[in-house]
Amino acid sequence: MATEIKLQKLGENLEGGKVLDVKVEAGATVVQGQPLVEVEAEKAAVEVLAPEAGKVTQVLVQKDDQVTVGQTLCVLDGANGAVPAQPQEKAEPTTEKPQTASPPQPQPQAVSQPQSRLPAASQRPVQPRATTGTDKPVPAGPATRRLARELGIDLQLVTGTAPAGRVTPEDVKAYVRQLATGLTPVSAAAGPVAAPPLPDFERWGGIEKKPLEQVRRKTAEHLSRAWNLIPHVTQHDLADITDLEAFRKSQEGNGPKLTVTGFALKAAAIALREFPQFNSSIDLAKGQLIFKHYVHIGIAVDTDRGLLVPVIRDVDQKTVYGLASELTEIAQRARDKQISVDDMRGGCFTISNLGGLGGVSFTPIVNWPEVAILGLSRARLQPVIQDGQVTPRLMLTLSLSYDHRVIDGADGARFCRRIADLLENPLKMLLHA
């Protein structure tokens, strides 16, 4: 029986993604669970799997196609009739109903045409990607959505002029006109962000041009936005982690692998509870600070696709051992392309540990809409004067970048010192759940 393999929901407010890889050809025989197509949305790559064993009769997409949720990716002639494949990702529970399969078509021809495809990325207008800063669904009718899709415009960026902020087709066209002038309302507010044309580098030697991968593009957009929106200050401090390191080593083989990052997670969670302004987001338009009653911390993970920041939830309620094993698991999933968009959302604060690689200190960029990020550099043995004696101690540089609109310098220094204090006295962490 022919089953259309459709793209299922990828994450909240995600209408589709880009085909990273088509793993089968028409005529291929597949086993149940075999990856058919890999789709990338935001920074997450998800594999669409065969729901049952069978023969792929049609492949309707190709690498780099933009695909939308519900679109048929390929057709599988399976022995048993089947439910549609789910992307291989763990998504947070959602109130939306899951997509259901289209009934199998009696005529293979009926499913042989892919749904209308978006124009290739290179044909769409280039869109500066500063955003309005909201993930809420944009109020807009089907005609507006269709027009935006055809033009490759993110409706989140368009200001709606109809009642209740509804976006009209005219609004989309006006936005495109603004793009043509190189000035969007957001870029105008945030200052000039459009780069001048690049020089012809070939004048000075050979060059090679490569398209920006999705993760690199998203990272660039996100960091530019954060850098433009947030007045950054970076506070550096030193934590003496000699005792912590001795304890860590003494625990080797006793449970999940403990690393500095696991302890830093716990210390940051305690500090976030004590300094709630570090666990907030600012909404200048509404004149509000939004304080979160939960402590979810993102961890910057270096993967071969680029930087990913999966989020560990309720860090304040977990032990260092629990955090260590979750950290190992989530970093591995990020590297194995098993991370979903929702796994990377909802963070309150971020930790970026470059210490495994080296370095003395650095200035991390705040992961907007958060207001602070902690960078860890490589801990080094340094001569420290204790009781008038020069003593070798293992010193870890902490680099806390924060949003100066929300956090005063004195609080930045106090917060950073508190984390240092907890790392210097790991027993104090036991006092917290």
Cβ distance to ligand CAO smaller for residue 208 or 252: 252
Token pair 């990913």 is found at 308
CB 162 within 8 A of CB 155: no
DSSP for 302-324 reads EETTEEE--EE--GGGS-HHHHH
Q: Does 327 bind ligand CAO (CB under 6 A)?
A: yes
Q: Among residues 232, 236, 404, 432, which one is catalytic?
A: 404
Query: Does residue 311 contact residue 345 with C-beta atoms inside 8 Å?
Result: yes
Please tell me the count of residues contacting ligand CAO according to CB under 6 A: 20
Which residues touch 230 (CB under 8 Å, ≥6 apart)?
Answer: 366, 368, 371, 403, 404, 405
* Contact between 67 and ligand CAO per CB under 6 A: no
* Distance in Å, CB of 249 to ligand CAO, minimum: 8
Q: Which is nearer to ligand CAO, 80 or 425 (CB)?
A: 425
Does position 307 interact with ligand CAO (CB under 6 A)? The reply is: yes
398 touching ligand CAO, by CB under 6 A: no
Per rule CB under 6 A, is residue 87 in the interface with ligand CAO? no
Which residue of the chain is nearest ligand CAO when measured via CB? 355
Among 49, 230, 376, 423, binds ligand CAO (CB under 6 A): 376
Mark the segment that binds ligand CAO (CB under 6 A) among 5-13, 194-202, 279-287, 293-301. 293-301
Q: What residues between 257 and 286 interact with ligand CAO by CB under 6 A? A: 259-261
Question: CB of 127: closest distance to ligand CAO in angstroms?
Answer: 24
The binder of ligand CAO chosen from 30, 300, 312, 339 (CB under 6 A): 300
Q: Which amino acid is at 318?
A: K
Q: What minimum distance in Å lies between the beta carbon of 276 and ligand CAO?
A: 24
Q: Please say if 432 is a catalytic residue.
A: no
Buried residues in 132-162 as b, exposed as e (16+ CB within 10 A): bbeeeebebeeebbebbbebbbebbbbebee
- Structural contact between residues 339 and 44, judged by C-beta atoms closer than 8 angstroms: yes
The stretch among 41-49, 194-202, 350-358, 418-426 that binds ligand CAO (CB under 6 A) is 350-358
Contact segment (CB under 6 A) with ligand CAO among 88-96, 145-153, 290-298, 349-357 equals: 349-357
Give me the long-range contacts of 189-195 (CB less than 8 A, separation at least 24): 190/130, 190/228, 190/229, 191/228, 193/128, 193/130, 193/224, 193/228, 194/128
What tokens were used for 379?
Answer: 């801990």
How far is residue 214's CA from residue 217's CA, in Å, rounded to a whole number? 5
- Rounded Cα–Cα distance for residues 249 and 253 (Å): 9
Interface contacts to ligand CAO, rule CB under 6 A: 259-261, 299-302, 307, 327, 331, 352-356, 364, 376, 378-379, 396
Write out the catalytic residue numbers. Answer: 404
